[in-house]
Amino acid sequence: MAKQLDEQTGIRPSGASNGNAKVGESSNGVISPMRRGNLISRNDVGGGSKEFTVIKYCPKASPSERKLPNGERNPHVTLKPVELIKWLIKLLTPIDGTTIDITAGSCTAGVAATLLNLYEGYNLKWINIELLNTKEDPYCDVGKMRVEEFYKDKNIKAN
């Protein structure tokens, strides 16, 4: 896809949109008065694909990832892979930031943030919101169980 996008947009050096300014150079009137001041030059060359973040492919959640700490199968129908959510958090959230998931389901974002905190040096706060917690769809209970498993046998408490 990136190759096709580059073919459509063509290859060009960056900087044309800022009057080919060098890093830190002030506008000389070539740029609209609203954008005058110190300009940033990226000093790179490429097609349209250089403007987009690389997409991460992750296969769907494996049977072992679907297994809950109590041995049952996670009932959530659209369970996301933890590795994908960890990647998204790293992409968008500062190391000491806060992440919020307003459709938390079975708490995969909470699991991902917890893993980042425990094993990758993050200090994230996280908020998961899920409205559905019924006998048929016990997502809040499942999410709580998934996160609490990481703190079992450790001298730390879940946030």
Give the model's pLDDT for residue 39: 43
What does pTM read for this prediction? 0.65
Give the DSSP per-residue string, the chain.
-HHHHHHHH--EETTGGGTTPPTTPBP-SSS-GGG-SB------EE-GGGGSPPPPP-PPPPHHHHB-TTSSBP--TTPPPHHHHHHHHHHHS-TT-EEEETT-TTTHHHHHHHHHHHHS----EEEE------SS--HHHHHHHHHHHHHTTSS----
Distances (CA, A) of 128 to 9, 98, 109: 40, 11, 7
Give the model's pLDDT for residue 33: 45
**How far is it, in rounded angstroms, from Cα 108 to Cα 86?**
9
**How far is it, in rounded angstroms, from Cα 151 to Cα 78?**
25
Q: Which residues of the chain have pLDDT under 70?
A: 1, 12-44, 50-53, 153-159
Give the model's pLDDT for residue 4: 78
**How far is it, in rounded angstroms, from Cα 93 to Cα 57?**
19
* Residue-range domains of the chain with CATH: 2-51 (no CATH), 63-151 (3.40.50.150)
Give the model's pLDDT for residue 36: 44
Q: 117: which residues sit within 8 A by CB, 6+ positions away?
A: 123, 124
Question: Which residues sit opposite 45 in a β-bridge?
Answer: 13
Count of Cβ atoms closer than 10 Å to residue 5 Cβ: 14
Give the model's pLDDT for residue 14: 59
